[in-house]
C-alpha cells in the first residue's frame, strides 16, 4: 500500500518541504482548453503527478464569479471528468506518495582498462505519471584514496567513465522522482585488461 502524505495547494509536502504553504513565484504552465467552457488550469511545478488549480467562471446572483479548485494527479488528467477537485481552501490534503517500482536487480557493466565506456542503465516505472524515473548519484566515484577509476552517472541513467586498473567495482545509483522515496540500484562494473 502506498504511503499517505499531506500536501498544500501547490503540491509541497507537509513536514518535508521548505516551501510548504509558500506560494511559488510563478505559474509554470497554463492550459485553456477549447472545450473547457472558459476553464483555466494552472500548475506551479514542472512535474507529474502534481497539484494543479482549476478556475471556472460561473454566474451567481446575476454576477460572474471565478470558482477556484485544486486537484492532485497527472497533469495530463487536468480536464478529465474523473479527476477529483476540491475547493481551494481545502488544505492540507492527503494523497498517496509517488512510488517507483524497480525489478531490474543488480545491473552489470563491462569495461576495458584505459578505454572509455558508456552504457544506459535500465530504469523503473512509477505509480503515477508518464515520465520514466531518473537516476541520481554523485558525479564521481573513487576507489578509496586511489583515483584508479572515475565513473559518472547522468540524470538520464547513462553511466560512463574510464578505469586505469582492472577489477570489480560496486556502485549504487538511485532512481528518483517527484514526491517519491529514492530506490537504490546496485551496479557492478567488471574491468578487464583487454
pLDDT by residue (tens digit) across 103-162? Answer: 889 999 999 998 999 998 888 888 776 566 777 765 445 555 555 667 788 878 888 888
* 109 and 91 together in one domain: no
Residue 47 has pLDDT above 90, yes or no: no
| Best CA proximity match to 6, nearest among 21, 49, 14 | 14
For residue 106, the domain's CATH number is 2.60.40.10
Contact 21, 32 (CB under 8 A): no
**Residue where a domain terminates, one of 50, 71, 96:** 96
At residue 134, the pLDDT reads 74
- Looking at the structure of the chain, the number of domains it has is 2
- Write down the pTM of the prediction: 0.62
| Best CA proximity match to 132, nearest among 175, 190, 184 | 175
Q: In whole angstroms, what is the distance from residue 67 CA to residue 94 CA?
A: 22
* 10 and 92 together in one domain: yes
Domain that holds residue 61: 4-96
* 180 and 140 together in one domain: yes
At residue 139, the pLDDT reads 46
Amino acid at each position: 500500500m502506498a504511503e499517505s502524505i499531506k500536501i498544500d495547494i501547490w503540491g509541497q509536502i507537509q513536514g518535508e518541504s521548505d516551501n510548504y504553504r509558500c506560494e511559488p513565484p510563478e505559474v509554470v504552465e497554463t492550459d485553456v482548453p477549447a472545450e473547457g467552457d472558459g476553464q483555466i488550469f494552472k500548475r506551479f511545478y514542472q512535474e507529474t503527478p502534481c497539484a494543479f488549480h482549476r478556475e471556472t467562471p460561473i454566474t451567481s446572483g446575476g454576477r460572474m464569479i471565478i470558482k477556484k479548485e485544486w486537484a492532485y494527479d497527472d497533469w495530463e488528467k487536468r480536464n478529465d471528468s474523473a479527476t477529483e477537485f476540491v475547493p481551494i481552501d481545502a488544505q492540507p490534503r492527503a494523497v498517496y506518495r509517488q512510488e517507483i517500482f524497480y525489478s531490474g536487480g543488480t545491473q552489470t557493466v563491462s569495461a576495458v582498462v584505459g578505454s572509455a565506456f558508456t552504457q544506459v542503465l535500465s530504469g523503473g516505472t512509477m505509480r503515477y505519471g508518464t515520465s520514466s524515473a531518473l537516476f541520481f548519484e554523485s558525479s564521481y566515484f573513487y576507489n578509496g584514496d586511489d583515483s584508479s577509476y572515475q565513473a559518472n552517472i547522468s540524470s538520464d541513467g547513462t553511466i560512463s567513465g574510464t578505469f586505469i586498473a582492472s577489477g570489480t567495482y560496486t556502485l549504487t545509483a538511485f532512481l528518483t522522482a517527484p514526491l517519491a522515496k529514492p530506490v537504490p540500484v546496485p551496479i557492478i562494473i567488471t574491468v578487464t585488461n583487454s
